[in-house]
Structures are given as C-alpha cells and as structure tokens.
Structure 1
Amino acid sequence: MSISIRKATLEEAEDIAKIHVSSWQTTYKGIMDADFLKQLSVGKRTELWVKNIQREGDIVLVASLNGELIGFTCGSHVKEGEYEEYDGDVTSIYFYKDFQGQGFGKLLMIRLFEEFMERGYQTAIVKVLEKNKACLFYEALGAKLIDTQVIPIPGGEATLFTYAWDDIKPFRNEMSHEKNDPTNEVNV
C-alpha cells in the first residue's frame, strides 16, 4: 500500500472540505455542540479551502491512497504577535476516521515540516483542543506543551493546548522516499 503526499490543487478544495467536515463531526463529537457539527457545510468549507490554497504563505498538502484523498494538512508562518519565538504553525491536519491511527498523519507532518524547512523555519507550533485525541499524536511526535488557554467553542468553552517543536530539523530525513521522487509516494 502506498500513500502519495503532495501540494493541493484548487480542484481538490471540495474534497478537502469533505474530509474537514467529516473529521470535525467525528473528532469533536461530544466536545462541541452536536447541532453545530451537524450543520457544518461542505460548500462553506470548500470556499474556505479555495482561499487557503490560494493564500500566499499557506502550505496545503494532501494525502491520497490509491488515488483517493484521505487527509490533508495546512501550515503557515506563526501569526504576528503570537509565539514569536516559533516559525511555523500547523494550522490543521485531518483524515477521514478510517485512516486515522495508521501512520499517515506522521508522514503528512514530516512532509509539512520539510516545506517549513524550505522556507527557513526551524521551529513550529500547533494548537489543539485538550479533549482531542490528537494531543497524543503531537506528543508522540515530540511536541511539548507550552501554553493553555480557555476559549469559547460551539456549545461552551474548552481548553486549547499549544504544543511546540523547538527544532524540526530531526524530521528532515524521516521520509522513506527520495525528495526528488516525482510521485512523492511512500510505501507503508
């Protein structure tokens, strides 16, 4: 089985939106308001992803398995005024539920960190809700908790964790494919 990881195209915005909505509905079930999650719109998320793919400075990568998109990630420079000692910001990473926990997320993160390093970034952050199981994923990838804050979410409040990597260079050589491989396929 091989997974392909590459930059997203505008034509894939709707497929990314479908993954985004589906993943939110499964990941945040019991954390966010059920009616809010039920009403998430693929159409509105498609508009969001068209903008994200086109936005200068954003890196949007997709993961496909046997030609079908199964996940994506997005990253950019840390917002001005936030965590200024860090460079990159992993703004999202989502997979369809059936493809979570199989190592694909790690491959996508490594590829995103490669893109960060090409831009000269040496460090990175990610923000995640405390009750999101992804906290364990980031910790397994060596991220450390650097900040917590309570934020409003649909249906109440939640604690937002900010994790950080003080050095993303160790991820440079973790991909099992050659950077020059035009297919960007990784066998798993």
Structure 2
Amino acid sequence: MIRRARVEDAAGIAATHVDSWRTTYPDMVPDSYLLGMSESAYTRRWSAILADRARIHGSFVAVEPPIGVVGFASCGAQRTGLEGYGGEFYALYLYDHAQNRGIGRHLMAAMATELMNYGMNSAVVWVLAVNPSRWFYERLGGRRLAEKIADFAGAELTEVAYGWRDLAPLARLSADPPVR
C-alpha cells in the first residue's frame, strides 16, 4: 500500500534509507560515509521534514503489513536550477526484497501527482552515476540532462540528472497495481 508519509513513519523511513545506501553503494561510496549514516540521526531528520507543514513537499511510504515501511519517496521544488524543470524527486529508496515488484513505479506516480497538484508539471532526479538502478529512471522516460560532482566523505562522485518535461504519463502509472 502506498500512502502519504506521517511523522510516526520516520523510524521506518530512516531504516530503509540507511539500509538502501549500505546495500546499494558498497565499494562505490566510501565506507566512512556509509558507516557514518545513523538511523537515529535520519529518524530525527525525517521527523522534522514530515512535521514541517510550511514546506512544499510530498513524502510517501510503501507499507507491507506486518513488516511496515518497505520503501519511501520524497519530492518538492527543484533545488539545482536546471532550466525548465519545476519539481524534483529528492529520494526513492526500497529494501532489496521490495524491488522489481512495481512499488518504485507507484511511488514515482505518487510523487508526480503531488508535484502536479502544486503546479509543477516537470521534474528532475539526481542519481549517482554508479547507481546500478539508473535504468529504472530511463525506463520511466527520464531524459539524461546534466552531470555534477558531489562530495561523499572526501570522494568526488558524479551525479547524473534525469528529467521529465511532462509528469502526466508518470502520474498515470498508478493505474497499474503493484505486484504483491
């Protein structure tokens, strides 16, 4: 089930966030960065984000009873100044066992709908160039737009931006139910 994230989801989001990074990026991101990721710090961060009603953003969770949060997504106004793109998909993370079942697609649809509700009909996502799941964004119609260098614990890594000029096709992806 995909639903809007609540403050009480912060610990589940944090656990998913940290686990996703540690399982996706070993040997790509410095160990010091991955080991420095703290679930308690991320829980505080996500609690603050989810409690902030003044900020235009959308956060969603994928929940599977009795497990709880198995994935999450977050979006809002674009932060990097890429011309012609109003929104940004900030985060999309799933536990390994929740991947390849349509959950990510449904989280993308929820974010696209949310951005459109705020009048942002286009969006970008930044992903590490070494991310083995980059194909996911390409398969959903994301066009490669730009690259930038980001610092991760002293290691300079390339991030790639993918963009969608029209979010309506992404929003329509929610018509197909995720695979259980």
Confirm or deny a common fold (TM above 0.5): yes
Q: What is the CA distance between 1:171 and its match in structure 2? A: 2.5
Aligned 8 A contact 1:128 1:134 in 2: no
User: Which residues of structure 1 form unaligned runs of 5+?
Assistant: 178-185
Where does residue 65 of structure 2 map in the other structure?
66
Matched, 1:11 2:8: yes
Q: What is the CA distance between 1:153 and its match in structure 2? A: 1.5
CA–CA separation in structure 2 for the residues paired with 1:144 and 1:106: 16
Where does residue 101 of structure 1 map in the other structure?
100
SS in 1 for 2:173: coil
Q: What is the CA distance between 1:155 and its match in structure 2? A: 4.8
Q: Deviations over 1:94-125 (max 9, x none)?
A: 01111122221011101111111111111000
> Equivalences for 1:33-182 in 2 at 5 Å?
33-55=30-52, 56-67=55-66, 68-79=68-79, 82-176=81-175
- Identity of aligned pairs, percent? 30
Q: Which amino acid aligns with 1:171?
A: L
Where does residue 32 of structure 1 map in the other structure?
29
Q: Deviations over 1:114-142 (max 9, x none)?
A: 11111111100000000002211100100
Could you state the TM-score of these two structures normalised by the residue count of structure 2? 0.91
Q: Which amino acid aligns with 2:87?
A: G
Aligned-pair Cα RMSD in Å? 1.6
Where does residue 20 of structure 1 map in the other structure?
17
Q: Which amino acid aligns with 1:31?
A: M
CA–CA separation in structure 1 for the residues paired with 2:175 and 2:92: 20
User: For the structure 1 residues 23 and 187, does the alpha-carbon distance in structure 2 shift closer, same or farther, using more than 3 Å as the test?
Assistant: closer
Q: What is the CA distance between 1:78 and its match in structure 2? A: 0.8
Q: Deviations over 1:52-72 (max 9, x none)?
A: 212321211001123521000
- How many residue pairs get aligned? The number is 176
Displacement over 2 Å in runs of 4+ = 171-174
Point out the more displaced range, 49-58 or 102-111: 49-58
